[in-house]
Structure 1
């Protein structure tokens, strides 16, 4: 037999083939896709592979290296296979005969590890000009092991388990029994994600979660909704074009730009892995958590043991390796022991002399188990908040008591949003139907029926124990009517501890990774709220996988709070409708009715009392931002100045204009429209717009160029701003900033029929105006009114806008803003030119009235 007939590597070997039915001879029928060839004596025949595809059909090469030929070429006799694989040792020089000079040179450069013939071009792996010999795992795969090597064996898993329980004395017979049980298990399949990463040339030895950074969120939001931050901010995306192109080149390059609203794939690698699988179709359990950690190559090796010994809540919190690093972490945090020594007893004495906390009458009496001695413990002060559903939740104020100030965190969590649903649905559709350009996704009876399920983990923070040496910091103080303050040890993590946030989220983060990588579950978690996305018709694969994994981890989702997958579900206070994703290619996101009613009720109470306290303003501001994040995010900023002044100021009384603003905000909340996210069709080309303003000799002039689609010609326009308009603005030495912002308002007023329904790529040569346009807000009141009203007008016209900075030398509207239609360069362009009068609706007095009547 010659292994070269299988397409990969030369290896001629004599063999005797037999079975229970007798010897395999040339007169017998060979296996399927194999055949006999004549052979010289003493051999009776040669067995050759004659199939159309190589065996194995695919080999996973690491780090982007690959051979210069394809195995199909070897099957057809168009290329030579790899040289015979041999053992690695220091080879003598007598084997260099017959090898090329380049191969001999590489033979010496690689310390003569293999025969010189193994260094010919056809026997090496290449990445551009770099070369290397195949790794042992790659050689193994080419010789017939179709699954990538490097899988953790049962022995490796046991060693990793020992490492995770280094503080626990476990008898050797237990480890031996564990190894015997693991040896009987199929450990390859749970490690398929590692093989997937290795096959793509990615890091696979350690597989932590990928934190969702601000840039990732900006890219996701751009594909689902629009621009989130200006390009010159730390959270913004890169500029679309480089500076200094000049007017003609900038226009030419801008017209060739892809849409900035084009969606990017979800950045987590295990979601890409799930897409490929679609195509191919009470007490915690520390032991199972440790096994999952080992199989997933998870870097957090202390979590399993922490459920035995507890978690730290103050002082230096150890780095888990699964969250985003905090580079600016403080280094001067006071030692907890010194903190207790300095003020431990005095704090308790002061607390005992205080009166009851707010809403003390709804706090149930806590039972004090024990104290730690005079001045050797530090209590947490407990208070109550009332949730929108009427449920009352106790919070332990670790900020007030100094616990958080004496905690040093080295990492911070990252969370998911409802955009996960749209992005993953889009990625799955494009993976399944790659290359399909129909107006809607193709029908797929057995597979596509998109649904969404939600679950809630039990116990949450209370299910995570506090380390014994930190229990003295985990004492809650409870006001008991008629008795005063009483104290009780809290054995689980307290709501309000900064350390508790990271400590708790380590569990759902590992669980979700296990669900994705081991159970093919499309799922995500926001603290203890779990989400499952289903694609397979009549089978809740993702949600059942989530139940299985978290159940084995000792944290089974609560049946009472379980909502099986359906086309309509609520998640994180948002109503998500996925029923039209497979038929029309859209997913609808909108605020829950209860969220709208909550905001409307709070605004109604403020309008009736004509007062808004600091606490109420802060809560209302958060509720408004959460509400409009589901639909039109910029609307949340409409009442921003009023709410900020009430939240951080000392006067809760609302002025007449404040009442008008809050009344308008209530109307906006009542008519909040849903957000439809396209998950199938690509975004249409953007309409290009350039605008500019000049302020010379106390005259403000605006200029613009609109590259509208056919049948319209490019439109160049200019407008002189009346002095009385400028006088209504805040006094400034020059009015370029509000002038540049005014262009954003003028164009929707003048050309609504041209802009309606289009995606706009808008270039402005003033960075402050770009930032205000993106945020639809500004710290300067007059500019705030301009950009916010402009945003509302574009929303009514159904426009999505992407704002970019452009240098003045590359801005084709620069001449129009200075000399109007008399500019010589402008007159030489094939544009329709016009000078228009200033629209009365853009006066500030009219504008403010219109904003209050939204």
Structure 2
């Protein structure tokens, strides 16, 4: 069973550039560009080929109305819901992927029935069409209505990609190499500040050989902004040791909090991410040395927590503060996405003190305030403050 990453378009682009060599790639990109496209098999399980012997393991049973007894029938395709069908079908998609790579020399990857191709715009979609023809010959044609024509932008596995600007890592330091200005830009100063703060902390990677005796916790946070500028938020903490073992917090989101963010109508991602910062400053002593899992339903905020950075100045600043705080407190958190309808902090984030769910489950409720003073400080002083909290 081989899984595919939603970052495959970027990996394809990186392979294409590496194959050319960086100097040659820069020349080619002056008059050509990379594009991505997508394909999808319709009724994928039912169209997956199967041998006659193996079909005996795929038997459909139902009550025959006319016969009045159970009826059995051999199925000629994979049964949806059969546990081993996932592995069997993945073998077929891997076979199609291998043929596209070896026979057509295409940058193509499949995740079960979803295919992504990366090719040069000068090919004018010929690679995608060749892959479609190949799969039709195999007896598994792609769905016409699910086709994504080759283009600089698109979507693969729910993640949007943009190949219109193939460059380095996109950071301020990398962009500086092609700039002709002599002064330090704000983005470059911020990057330097992060580097200096990290070097000053002298981080070390620790591996726990024996079972950890640190306090464990589970957390969930959420925010809402039905009206621009009038957001709400809250979070729930469950501690394995210490009292109270269940804590609920209602975040005070005042206009002064919004004034710290860059101008804009909607700030839901900022509010979602800020709940973590609210929590770390509300209970620093309990978070110190703790290990836990944190559930969050906003993908943009989740990616900031995982990567530690963002292209948004607000999210970038928030991510820096959170990771500095986690390092100072020696707190390890595994960030996990959760569907909005399953997020158990959704109710308190919207209803606040009137939320019945946290009372029903015996959470003790407290207010939480945004650490505006930390927002304005350099990262090194922020580290020292969290070490003393």
TM-score when normalising by structure 1: 0.25
Deviation digits for residues 355-387 of structure 1 (CA, Å, limit 9, x no counterpart)? xxxxxxxxxxxxxxxxxxxxxxxxxxxxxxxxx
1: distance between equivalents of 2:15 and 2:286? 51
After TM superposition, give the deviation of residue 739 of structure 1 in Å.
0.3
Change (3 A) 1:773 1:683: farther
What residue is the counterpart of 1:810 in the other structure?
342
Change (3 A) 1:737 1:398: closer
Q: Residue 700 of structure 1 contacts residue 720 of structure 1 at CA under 8 Å; is this kept in 2?
A: no
2: distance between equivalents of 1:703 and 1:786? 17
The answer to whether residue 220 in structure 2 is matched with residue 690 in structure 1 is yes
Change (3 A) 1:326 1:782: closer
From 665, 668, 679, the counterpart of 2:198: 668
- Between the two proteins, the alignment pairs up a number of residues equal to 236
The higher relative CO (CA closer than 8 Å, separation ≥ 6) is in 2
After TM superposition, give the deviation of residue 734 of structure 1 in Å.
1.7
After TM superposition, give the deviation of residue 728 of structure 1 in Å.
2.6
> Considering only CA atoms, is the larger Rg found in Structure 1 or Structure 2?
1
Q: How does 1:8-157 map to 2 (within 5 A)?
A: none
The answer to whether residue 255 in structure 2 is matched with residue 727 in structure 1 is no
Q: Residue 715 of structure 1 contacts residue 832 of structure 1 at CA under 8 Å; is this kept in 2?
A: yes
What residue is the counterpart of 2:106 in the other structure?
none
After TM superposition, give the deviation of residue 666 of structure 1 in Å.
2.8
What residue is the counterpart of 1:849 in the other structure?
377
Change (3 A) 1:647 1:657: closer
What residue is the counterpart of 2:240 in the other structure?
709
Q: Secondary structure at the match of 1:789?
A: helix
Change (3 A) 1:641 1:728: farther
Change (3 A) 1:732 1:401: closer
The answer to whether residue 293 in structure 2 is matched with residue 761 in structure 1 is yes
Change (3 A) 1:737 1:679: same
2: distance between equivalents of 1:725 and 1:214? 41
1: distance between equivalents of 2:13 and 2:302? 29
2: distance between equivalents of 1:825 and 1:659? 45
After TM superposition, give the deviation of residue 741 of structure 1 in Å.
0.7
From 309, 320, 323, the counterpart of 1:791: 323
Deviation digits for residues 797-844 of structure 1 (CA, Å, limit 9, x no counterpart)? 111111111122211111111111211233212111122344333xxx
Q: Residue 750 of structure 1 contacts residue 839 of structure 1 at CA under 8 Å; is this kept in 2?
A: no
Q: Secondary structure at the match of 2:207?
A: strand
Change (3 A) 1:829 1:664: closer
Q: Secondary structure at the match of 2:235?
A: strand
2: distance between equivalents of 1:401 and 1:702? 51
What residue is the counterpart of 1:647 in the other structure?
177
What residue is the counterpart of 1:444 in the other structure?
none
From 677, 681, 685, the counterpart of 2:211: 681
2: distance between equivalents of 1:399 and 1:658? 25
The answer to whether residue 357 in structure 2 is matched with residue 825 in structure 1 is yes
C-alpha RMSD of matched pairs (Å): 3.7
1: distance between equivalents of 2:233 and 2:367? 10
Q: How does 1:9-408 map to 2 (within 5 A)?
A: 233-234=6-7, 399-400=22-23
Deviation digits for residues 485-510 of structure 1 (CA, Å, limit 9, x no counterpart)? xxxxxxxxxxxxxxxxxxxxxxxxxx
Q: Secondary structure at the match of 1:677?
A: coil
After TM superposition, give the deviation of residue 641 of structure 1 in Å.
4.5
Change (3 A) 1:789 1:328: closer
2: distance between equivalents of 1:733 and 1:326? 36
1: distance between equivalents of 2:226 and 2:267? 10
Change (3 A) 1:677 1:815: same
Deviation digits for residues 779-798 of structure 1 (CA, Å, limit 9, x no counterpart)? 10111101111111011111
What residue is the counterpart of 1:835 in the other structure?
367
Deviation digits for residues 334-353 of structure 1 (CA, Å, limit 9, x no counterpart)? xxxxxxxxxxxxxxxxxxxx
Q: Residue 815 of structure 1 contacts residue 823 of structure 1 at CA under 8 Å; is this kept in 2?
A: yes
Q: Secondary structure at the match of 2:378?
A: helix
What residue is the counterpart of 1:470 in the other structure?
none
2: distance between equivalents of 1:649 and 1:809? 46
2: distance between equivalents of 1:682 and 1:840? 34
2: distance between equivalents of 1:838 and 1:214? 40
Deviation digits for residues 135-156 of structure 1 (CA, Å, limit 9, x no counterpart)? xxxxxxxxxxxxxxxxxxxxxx
Q: Secondary structure at the match of 1:675?
A: coil
After TM superposition, give the deviation of residue 757 of structure 1 in Å.
0.7
2: distance between equivalents of 1:732 and 1:754? 35
2: distance between equivalents of 1:665 and 1:798? 19
Deviation digits for residues 228-254 of structure 1 (CA, Å, limit 9, x no counterpart)? xxxx9558xxxxxxxxxxxxxxxxxxx
1: distance between equivalents of 2:234 and 2:360? 16
What residue is the counterpart of 1:345 in the other structure?
none
From 776, 798, 801, the counterpart of 2:333: 801
Greater per-residue strand proportion: 2
Change (3 A) 1:650 1:830: same
1: distance between equivalents of 2:24 and 2:188? 36
Gaps of 5+ in 2: 29-167, 384-389
TM-score when normalising by structure 2: 0.52
Q: Secondary structure at the match of 1:676?
A: coil
Change (3 A) 1:803 1:817: same
After TM superposition, give the deviation of residue 673 of structure 1 in Å.
2.3
2: distance between equivalents of 1:735 and 1:326? 33
Q: Residue 277 of structure 2 contacts residue 370 of structure 2 at CA under 8 Å; is this kept in 1?
A: no
1: distance between equivalents of 2:171 and 2:14? 30
Change (3 A) 1:662 1:399: closer
